[in-house]
């Protein structure tokens, strides 16, 4: 074995986005592309020497290839130990759990989350720090700086490892252990929730469907739901991780988890349905004939946290990303705890969780989590709901309706316009920003604007300032529009419009969501000129 120093030149497009570096597989397959980025990570953290990392991914195409390269590079850079998920598999929440449990220096997660996979799909690399969470902006900015000036990287010429067998070996001076990707995570879940109550729910014939979308959570769901909780194996759908996700778009929402949705909305459907995304950090929750919006889910979990053993002692606080509906704020107010509003992306929750300011946090984009790790956690959310269903004996629909009755309902939807010409999308946002000072007190589509701004966040723990995190337009009656461009897409630009309207009157809670939001949807188009500028008459995706 020998360590080789390879000369290279920078790629200018290696700026991490909302969640790591995401590109088409073909971009990552270019010579030196992955290597440059990995070396940039090591350079940005003062070298890998003496450090310990977990490495794994969502099993998508190029996952194993990338892991072999990273093992050789981490060894050549002097890492003292590497923990690799067997078969290269590690869900994002499991990776976070392992970093924390084994007190590692960090982790490299190979995933493009909910983006499609396969040779023509997407790939991604995300670096997590020692608290188990995504690298904060200061670190991702340093990684980008390093990537922009890289001249060389180190790599061992050691042969590929067999990732299919658990066990320990040594590469250069580095101890490399292939580990069971599931057990640490499953143990953590068992320590949080009332598994006895959930087991007894299943033993009474409670029916559930869980869709792993041919992505990473299949083995986790099998161990936890079937083996430890006694659910029948037939409750699992698409539970084998596949390199191309079987052609699925592994994003758990009403559009892409179609089969699951059909089952839950059929006659005599199951009591409970759930799905998770490519890397296992997102969740969708369904009841029989009932969809729970992720924003509502966060609020419901917060309001019922006392039913879960781990959270019985009370919540320190709640945080939600800015575009997420303000349903959780009402619960925080009721509980007399703080509710923090952060920019989009899980990395902004890390400091608040580390400082003990918050216990639960979530995003409208099907992400929910707590201080048990530093990532959002799909199966955790599913287990939380199962725990609530077991403890209350209520249906999903009843729990949510009771919640609306108590706190009022936040009608909420996100409209995505995908693959836009980046120049047109940028101009739309720039012009909207320029218009902000003139909007106050104007009436648009019958709604009066109370306040409009460009969201800027000052981290309450380290004072770091993040600007331009989305344009917010507040109307009377707690209605709100938010506009921002996606930071995770790989094709053109995606405009996200977040639409929210608060309805305290429960006689109006049955209105169809898009109908309740109609005046706001019209206002969004008038203010941002979406149709005129993009030529799009409908969003590509409504969630």
* Binding residues for ligand G1P (CB under 6 A): 18-19, 113, 321, 344-346, 363, 365, 367, 486-488, 496
Instruction: Please name the residue ranges forming H helices in 77-168.
Output: 92-101, 137-149
CB of 467 to ligand G1P, least distance (A): 15
Q: How far is the CB of 214 from Zn ion (least distance, A)?
A: 14
* Contacts to Zn ion from residues 76-135, by CB under 5 A: 113
Instruction: Compute φ and ψ for 99, nearest 5 degrees.
Output: -55, -45
CA 510 to chain centre: 29
Catalytic residue among 111, 113, 413, 466: 113
Interaction pattern, residues 272-311, with Zn ion; x per rule: CB under 5 A = -----x-x-xx-----------------------------
What does the block give as tokens for 517? 């939001």
213: phi then psi, degrees, rounded to nearest 5? 55, 35
Q: Which does 293 bind (CB under 5 to 8 A by kind): Zn ion, ligand G1P, none?
A: none
| Residue 87, C-beta contacts closer than 8 angstroms, at least 6 positions apart | 59, 64, 163, 164, 181
Is residue 503 close enough to count as binding Zn ion by CB under 5 A?
no
Nearer to ligand G1P, 270 or 367 (CB): 367
Cβ at position 30, least distance to Zn ion in Å? 24
Q: Which is nearer to ligand G1P, 363 or 377 (CB)?
A: 363
Q: Choose among Zn ion, ligand G1P, none what residue 39 binds, the Cβ cut-off being 5 to 8 Å by kind.
A: none
- The nearest distance, CB 398 to ligand G1P, in angstroms, is 28
Q: How far apart are CA 367 and CA 378, in angstroms?
A: 7
Q: Quickly tell me which residue has 């006392």 as its tokens.
A: 306
Identify which of residues 16 and 287 has a Cβ nearer to ligand G1P in the complex. 16
By a kind-dependent CB cut-off of 5 to 8 A, residue 23 interacts, out of Zn ion, ligand G1P, none, with none
Strands 208-211 and 167-171: unpaired
Q: Please identify, using beta-carbon distances, which residue of 122 and 500 lies nearer to Zn ion.
A: 122
Q: What is the size of the binding site for Zn ion (CB under 5 A)?
A: 5
- Least CB distance to ligand G1P at residue 487 (A): 3
**484 in Cβ contact with 494 (< 8 Å):** no
Q: Is 113 a catalytic residue?
A: yes
User: First CA to last CA across the chain, in angstroms?
Assistant: 52
Q: Which is nearer to ligand G1P, 63 or 344 (CB)?
A: 344
For residue 279, the partner it binds in ligand G1P, Zn ion, none, with Cβ less than 5 to 8 A by kind, is Zn ion
Q: How far apart, in whole angstroms, are the C-alpha atoms of residue 418 and residue 490?
A: 10
CA-to-CA distance for 42 and 520, rounded, in angstroms?
A: 47
Round to whole Å and give the CA distance between 14 and 35.
12
* Phi, psi of 296, deg, nearest 5: -65, -40
Given Zn ion, ligand G1P, none, residue 344, with its beta carbon under 5 to 8 Å by kind, binds ligand G1P
Q: Which is nearer to Zn ion, 346 or 384 (CB)?
A: 346
Q: Using alpha carbons, list the distances in angstroms from residue 311 to 93, 121, 185, 188.
A: 19, 39, 18, 14
CB of 363 to ligand G1P, least distance (A): 4
The site partner of 408 among ligand G1P, Zn ion, none (C-beta below 5 to 8 Å per kind) is: none
Give the SS3 label for residue 1. coil
CA angle 303, 306, 307 (to 5 degrees): 105
Question: Mind telling me the catalytic residues?
Answer: 113
Q: Which residues bind Zn ion (CB under 5 A)?
A: 113, 277, 279, 281-282
């Amino acid at each position: 074995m020998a360590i080789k120093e390879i000369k290279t030149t920078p790629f200018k497009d290696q700026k991490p986005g909302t969640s790591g570096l995401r590109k088409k597989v073909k971009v990552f397959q270019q010579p030196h592309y992955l290597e440059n980025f990995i070396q940039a990570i090591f350079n940005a953290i003062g070298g890998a020497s003496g450090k310990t990392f977990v490495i794994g991914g969502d099993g998508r195409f190029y996952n194993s290839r990338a892991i072999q390269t990273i093992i050789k590079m981490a060894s050549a850079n002097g890492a003292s130990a590497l923990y690799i998920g067997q078969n290269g598999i590690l869900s994002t929440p499991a990776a976070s759990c392992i970093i924390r449990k084994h007190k590692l220096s960090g982790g490299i997660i190979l995933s493009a989350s909910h983006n499609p996979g396969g040779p023509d799909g997407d790939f991604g690399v995300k670096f997590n720090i020692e608290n188990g969470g995504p690298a904060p902006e200061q670190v991702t900015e340093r990684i980008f700086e390093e990537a922009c000036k890289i001249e060389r990287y180190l790599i061992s010429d050691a042969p590929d490892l067999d990732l299919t067998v658990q066990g320990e070996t040594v590469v250069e001076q580095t101890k490399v252990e292939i580990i069971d990707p599931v057990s640490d995570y499953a143990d953590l879940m068992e320590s949080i929730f009332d598994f006895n109550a959930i087991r007894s729910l299943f033993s009474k014939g409670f029916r559930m469907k869980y869709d792993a979308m041919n992505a990473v959570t299949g083995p986790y769901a099998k161990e936890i739901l079937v083996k430890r909780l006694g659910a029948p194996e037939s409750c699992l759908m698409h539970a084998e991780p596949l390199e191309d996700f079987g052609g699925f778009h592994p994003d758990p929402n009403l559009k892409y988890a179609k089969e699951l949705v059909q089952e839950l909305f059929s006659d005599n459907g199951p009591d409970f349905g759930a799905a998770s995304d490519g890397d296992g950090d997102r969740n969708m929750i369904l009841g029989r004939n009932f969809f729970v919006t992720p924003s509502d889910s966060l609020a419901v979990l917060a309001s019922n946290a006392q039913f879960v053993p781990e959270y019985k002692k009370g919540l320190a606080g709640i945080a939600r990303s800015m575009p997420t509906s303000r349903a959780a704020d009402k619960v925080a107010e009721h509980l007399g705890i703080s509710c923090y509003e952060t920019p989009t992306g899980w990395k902004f929750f890390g400091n608040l969780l580390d400082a003990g300011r918050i216990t639960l946090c979530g995003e409208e984009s099907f992400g929910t989590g707590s201080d048990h790790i530093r990532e959002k956690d799909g199966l955790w959310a599913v287990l939380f709901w199962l725990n609530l269903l077991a403890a209350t004996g209520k249906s999903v629909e009843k729990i949510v309706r009771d919640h609306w009755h108590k706190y009022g309902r936040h009608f909420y939807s996100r409209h995505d316009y995908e693959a836009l010409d980046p120049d047109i999308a940028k101009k739309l946002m720039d012009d909207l920003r320029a218009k902000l000072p003139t909007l106050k007190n104007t009436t648009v589509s019958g709604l009066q604007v109370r306040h409009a701004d460009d969201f800027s966040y000052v981290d309450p723990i380290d004072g770091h300032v993040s600007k331009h995190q989305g344009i917010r337009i507040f109307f009377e009656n707690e209605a709100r529009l938010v506009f921002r461009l996606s930071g995770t897409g790989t094709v053109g630009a995606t405009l996200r419009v977040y639409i929210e309207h608060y309805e305290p009157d429960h006689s109006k809670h049955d209105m169809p969501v898009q109908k309740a939001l109609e005046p706001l949807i019209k206002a969004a188009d008038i203010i941002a000129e979406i149709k005129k500028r993009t030529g799009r008459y409908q969003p590509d995706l409504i969630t």
